[in-house]
């Protein structure tokens, strides 16, 4: 986590705890913490992923039994954590504004998704005319339309439906040991926008997505902080 993100996390947290109504404060605090923790989980898994791939390579050189289980665990958890971070960001936005979207899928109610959060801002004249929220919705719409966002979501779905055989769990040493593929590329049929083997290497992919999600968190937190500064400032003035 960069120092920039760490700084705005502290600022936004102080605004939430110091200025928001109690009925929203707890939800906002929980969702901000969870969005940040999920991103931190992804960072830790990225580090672990690189270490396990290096360990796997060293075992291959020593003709030891090879097992990719830990590599797949790191990859899966990194992807799931990044998607969860974005989902909790959407929940945070819904709680701060508030947009009155249902936190859970509930019959007869529109629930929180990033797309529904964007639409709720855009479709409300008062919110749309707020400079900070207008900028936030436009920024999120731009990011959610990008390949990286949609492909990350597709990978998350793929991880639930096609576990077996995606990254072979184990390879016992045989006379064909030297022919074992030491590349670790994204599963076939995913992330079609990435063409080169370098881009499709799971370490590079996870590193780039960790950076993308951090940027979304940082930009969103800054805009939410600006929104709260104006909103809480106006509320304070009315009390004079």
The structural domain count of the chain equals 1
End-to-end CA distance of the chain: 40
8 Å CB contact between 18 and 235: no
CA–CA separation, 100 and 120 (whole Å): 9
Q: With respect to residue 156, please indicate whether it lies within any of the assigned structural domains.
A: yes
pLDDT, tens digit, for every residue of 161-205? 554 444 544 444 444 555 566 789 998 888 999 999 999 999 999
Contacts (Cβ under 8 Å, ≥6 apart) of 117: 90, 93, 94, 99, 101, 140
CA 52 to chain centroid, in Å, comes to: 22
Q: With respect to residue 123, please indicate whether it lies within any of the assigned structural domains.
A: yes
Percent residues over pLDDT 70 in the chain: 87
For residue 165, the model assigns a pLDDT of 47
pTM of the predicted model over 0.75: yes
Closest CA to 89 of 122, 114, 110, 120: 114
Query: At 67, is the pLDDT very low, low, confident or very high (cuts 50, 70, 90)?
Result: confident
ω before 98 within 30° of 0 (cis)?
A: yes
Q: With respect to residue 167, please indicate whether it lies within any of the assigned structural domains.
A: yes
Q: With respect to residue 239, please indicate whether it lies within any of the assigned structural domains.
A: no
Q: With respect to residue 238, please indicate whether it lies within any of the assigned structural domains.
A: no
For residue 108, the model assigns a pLDDT of 76
Query: At 31, is the pLDDT very low, low, confident or very high (cuts 50, 70, 90)?
Result: very high
pLDDT, tens digit, for every residue of 84-102? 999 999 999 999 998 999 9
Q: With respect to residue 171, please indicate whether it lies within any of the assigned structural domains.
A: yes
As given in the structure block, the two tokens for residue 204 are 């590079």
Q: With respect to residue 240, please indicate whether it lies within any of the assigned structural domains.
A: no
Which residue blocks in 62-189 are alpha helix, DSSP H?
69-96, 114-122, 125-128, 131-144, 147-161
Range of the structural domain that residue 27 is part of = 3-233
Q: With respect to residue 29, please indicate whether it lies within any of the assigned structural domains.
A: yes
Q: What is the mean pLDDT of residues 149-163?
A: 77
As given in the structure block, the two tokens for residue 164 are 């077996």
Return phi, psi of residue 67, to 5°: -140, 120
């Amino acid at each position: 986590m960069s120092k920039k993100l760490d700084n705005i996390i502290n600022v936004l947290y102080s605004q939430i705890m110091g200025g928001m109504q109690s009925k929203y404060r707890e939800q906002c605090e929980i969702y901000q913490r969870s969005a940040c923790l999920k991103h931190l989980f992804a960072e830790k898994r990225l580090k672990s992923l690189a270490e396990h791939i290096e360990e796997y390579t060293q075992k291959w050189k020593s003709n030891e039994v090879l097992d990719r289980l830990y590599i797949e665990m790191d990859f899966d958890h990194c992807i799931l954590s990044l998607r969860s971070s974005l989902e909790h960001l959407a929940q945070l936005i819904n709680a701060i504004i508030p947009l009155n979207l249902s936190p859970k899928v509930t019959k007869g109610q529109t629930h929180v998704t990033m797309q529904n959060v964007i639409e709720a801002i855009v479709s409300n004249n008062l919110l749309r005319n707020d400079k900070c929220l207008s900028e936030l919705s436009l920024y999120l719409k731009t990011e959610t339309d990008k390949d990286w966002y949609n492909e990350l979501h597709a990978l998350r779905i793929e991880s639930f439906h096609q576990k077996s055989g995606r990254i072979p769990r184990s390879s016992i040493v045989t006379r064909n040991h030297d022919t074992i593929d030491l590349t670790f590329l994204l599963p076939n049929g995913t992330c079609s926008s990435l063409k080169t083997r370098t881009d499709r290497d799971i370490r590079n992919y996870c590193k780039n997505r960790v950076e993308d999600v951090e940027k979304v968190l940082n930009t969103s937190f800054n805009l939410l902080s600006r929104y709260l500064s104006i909103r809480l400032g106006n509320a304070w003035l009315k009390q004079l």
